[in-house]
Structures are given as structure tokens and as C-alpha cells.
Structure 1
Amino acid sequence: MKVKIPENLVEAKGLQLELSKKVITKDVVKKINYVGGIDVHFKNQNVVLGYVVLFYPYGDIVEEKIKVFSIKYNFPYIPEFLCFSEGPYIVEFLDKLDKPDVLILDGHGVAHPRRMGLASYIGVILDLPTIGCAKKLLYGKYLSKLGTKRGSFTNIIDDETKEVIGYALRTKDNVKEVIISIGHKVSLNTAKDIVLNLSKYRIPQPIRLAHSIAKNYVVKK
């Protein structure tokens, strides 16, 4: 599958706004059995993708893969535009695989200025249920103070529209929160439940393990 790579930031913003109209914010999958995770590393002239699929909700690993690309897209690495720097490699990789019921990505979904973070982009392009799980807030603000216990969460709102665009979620007692948002075809509450159910540590297992696979490959090389 070929994807369009914008030639500049103005075009990129326009494409994000266009794609954001296609995001579905409700649950589409009736029963979730398999949850995937993917993480991307850039190393010299290579792009390394780590990928795992877990049996849900138990967390057993059912698939692990690694894929190495030579860098062939030159879109700059900018937080608001990860969909164009990382997204094309993920699309090319996943396009040829059997898809999990839901995919968690290390990045944002609709918790984004134009509602089109990496998770939403992958979801819309591949017509795949996705969840954004990021380590830092990109856009919006917390509605209230977050509790310190596992499972505590608070709304993230767009300060201009007052729309709820995500949750700040505590996945482990007294450990820094993660930022959860809808990617595509998964409701915000379902996204929260999936991430929490698959979190032994701060980062949910699908992307934690995917990160480990990719990082280990990079270190060995």
C-alpha cells in the first residue's frame, strides 16, 4: 500500500485535517482476543520496527516480529507529524500481515491539535482499530489532578473547544502516568480498559515488548 507523503508542513496539516474526518470514535470490534503493539526506532540509515501480538486479556505472547527498512521517506521528525515520519513504514509492514483486533501505538491518537496523531493515522489508513498511548502530553490539559493509585485517570481536554480528547491514566501506583487517546474504531473508555488490563509496569505490555524487541536489535547492531 502506498501512502501520500506531504511535501511541506502546510500540506501535512491539510492532510491531517482531511484524514481526521474519517476517525471513528466508537467501539467497532465486539470481542477482543488479540492486541498488538508496535514501536519504531531510527538508527543511522535504518528504521527498525518491533511488533508483538498478545492474547487478550491474559497477555500471552502469540506473535513477535522485527522488520528493518532502509530510510526512504525524508519527512522531518516532528512530534505533531509522526504519522508522516513513522507512519509509512508501519503501514507498509502491517499491510501484509494478519491484523490484531486492536493495535496500540507509542504515540497519540486524537489527543492532537488536528486530531490526527500516529495512532489515528494508522487506524484510518489501514481501517484498523487503534489506541494511542504516549509518554508525554502533546496537546490539551488535564481537567483535574490525577490520583496516585493504579487505575486513576482524568480527562484531557482541548482548552479551546473543551472537548475531551483523551485520558491521563495511572497504570501503576506512584508511577508517572501515560496519555491515552482514541486512535480509530475504539472508544476512549475501552482504550483505557485495554491499556490498564495489559499494563504490568508503566507502559502497556504490547508496546513495551515491541520497544524491547526493536531496541535489542539496534543495540546488537
Structure 2
Amino acid sequence: MQVNLLYRPSQALAQCWLAPGESVLAESGAMVGMSTNVAMQTQSGGIMSGLKRMFGGESFFRNTFTSQGGNGEVLFATPLCGDMLVLDAGHRQYCLQSSAYVASSQGVDVRTRAGGMKGFFSGAGLFILETQGQGQVVIGAFGALEEVRVDGSFVIDTGHLAAWDSSLQYRVGKSGAGWIASWLSGEGLVCTFEGQGSVWLQSRNASEYGAVIGAMLPPRK
């Protein structure tokens, strides 16, 4: 699969070129358009797998797009305006905040991993996504994507997490000295990453954005 990212960084669109017989797996609803020789198949991956994806913030289903009888093209985008990035899985593997996943090549297995309460409070739901195998993973963000190199430790607001190297350890905690101070600061919970690797953060927080826009809307009648 060859991926060309268009209209970055604020209105990114992923243009995926497929060789004959090649497939790409994508989150339900991510497809914008495709050539007529691309066939789409919808699957849940099993009841338990589907339920775990739902709790992780994804839809129950994923779609597989396969090029037939020649080269094919599929376009993908994210629901909110922002940037997109291609991560190469293989030597490095990644954890993804569930809403950051867009698509992946057929050699990559994107599994839902139980994160327990740590995953829940991280803003990624009770489950996070983890890559295995080799290939390309397309992620998307709300706003710009920034790679932060961790060499020791680094703190990131949970609402701005997109992806991170799976080799990194992290813990979720208060942003301030206590729970009241954390709440009054408006920062809430943060993730402290430890080790050596990269974290990709998104410059905008979808929950905060929704709260601001919601407060501007007239009351429902």
C-alpha cells in the first residue's frame, strides 16, 4: 500500500493506492471515496472483539477494501478537522488512542487491549489499540499532530493523546498537587510517560471543543 497525505495539516485526506489483490483495513465511516474496482467487505472480527472495539471508542465494525483486476484507490478522512500521519509498524509497535485509528495495511494487526482503569482515565476508554505485525498505520488527529521525544519522562494532558510507542510505560495521575487543585486548574488528568520513545499528541482536545461549542448552542425545546 502506498499512502499519499493531502491537504495537511488542517484538512488532511489519506489517498491510499492498492496493488491488484491488495487490501486495506479501515475504521467504519472513514472512507471518503474509492475507485470502482475496489470491493468493500464489512466485518466485526467476532462478538467479543467487536464489543471490545466499541468500549474502546471505535465502531463495532471495520471495513476491508480490496483492489480487484488492477490498481485501486481509496480515500480516507477523520470526522474532525485535523492532520494525519503514517506510522510504520514492524521494528516499532504503537499504542493508539481509539479515535486516532483510521486505517492499516493488511500486514498489520490492530488489536484492542484492555487498559483497565488506567486506560479509562487516560481518555482512551477501557481499551486502547495496539499494533502487531508489519506495515503501515494511518492515524488522524483533531488539530495538528506533534511528535514529542521522551527520554526519561514527559507529561501530556490525556485529552491530547493520539499515539505512542508501545515500549513506553505510562501512568495516569492528577495534574495538580491534589484533586481539588487539578479540577480548579481545568487540566484534570495527565499521563506521565517514562522510557525512551515517541508520543504523538494532537493540538486540540475534542471533549473541550465539544463543551465550548455546546455552551454556545441554544437550549433544546
Greater helix fraction, Structure 1 or Structure 2:
1
Structure ranking higher on relative contact order (CA contacts 8 Å, 6+ apart): 1
TM range (shorter): under 0.3
Question: TM-score with structure 1 length normalisation?
Answer: 0.26
Question: TM-score with structure 2 length normalisation?
Answer: 0.26
Greater strand fraction, Structure 1 or Structure 2:
2
Structure showing greater radius of gyration is 2
